[in-house]
Structure 1
Amino acid sequence: MLGHMTATEAFLVLSCLGPDRPGLVAELTHYVSEHGGNVEDSRMVVLGGEFGVLLLVSGSPEEVSALETSTADIEKQTGLQVIARRTKSPEEHRRAPTIPCLVTAEALDHEGIVRAVARALSATGVNIVSLEAMAYEAPVTGSPLFRMEARIDVPAGVSVGKVRKAMDAVAEEENLEIDVRSLVKG
């Protein structure tokens, strides 16, 4: 529904965390709909036994206020901790021109990989939009491996080449395979 937003819409991010069980997504989305809200975007994951979700919800200012002030109800119903925070529309947030890129890193698992990549990206002025990281075992040897994938926005004043150079330095220091790829088609 992102293309159908009106000037009178308000936006709210709901951050929810708690023990995983079947039916949580149905309960959360019913709660949002029941209060007149619409889920515009979401990220959900189970880590360990905990379910975490971020929901970007839109609605009239009155509907969003009702959602914001009734989080105790959904906490009681689901057993999740819920934090509600007002935010701006996705279009308003993305006003500055950027080049979207994907950074992937793979290595033998060791401490500090995410920290090293994030520090180098921050030093170049890049914004990390999303990041997934996971440790796993190699199929044959059982060696501990690590994979990270980050979607980044490179600001207009920063070259993708500068980002690649920074990632090459991290790859050398941390013994990683890193790839930086522009997501711009053309």
Structure 2
Amino acid sequence: MSETRILTLVGSLRAGSINRRLAEAAAQTAPADVAITIYEGLGELPFYDEDLDVPGAVPAQAEALRAAVAEADALLLVTPEYNGTLPAVLKNAIDWASRPYGAGAIKGKPVAVVSASISPRAAAWAHGDAVKSVGVAGGIVVESATAQFATIGERFGQTHPARDAEALSQLGATVHELVAAAKGARISA
């Protein structure tokens, strides 16, 4: 069977962010026949603007994101919570991937959401908003492929999530469920 490709979009742009480290740890849990890539460049993506989304005017960064999403078998979103919701950079990526309306690269794509926050709520609002946005955009949220991490400053402040057995177990289960959904989607296509 061919390799399953998962594209990871991280909502935090900070190089040392714990959310990015969670994405890196998730990639380490992938089986041998699964490639997980963390997308670089969300910070360079211009805000979605319909005036830019016309033939000949679509920014190269948006075209690159759309192509990467289209080539992936599934998406893994890793989101912190900023002011009670998902970061603008992640919402913007979903917006670009959802267009053209009804036929965007995200349409019909299995998507898992991992959320993490310094609060005890584990970025629950950001998680919910990401699920809602992906669903409206046409992605298929894999409800069983989820992980939420609370008080990450304390938990992962000194230790990479890749060295936390419980975190690896949760991330591995998320990746496993997402891969199963991607393979199922491929079979039914």
Please give the range of the TM-score, normalised by the shorter of the 2 chains: under 0.3
The alignment's TM-score, normalised by the length of structure 1, stands at 0.24
Higher Rg: 1
Q: Which has the higher contact order (CA 8 A, sep 6+)?
A: 2
The alignment's TM-score, normalised by the length of structure 2, stands at 0.23
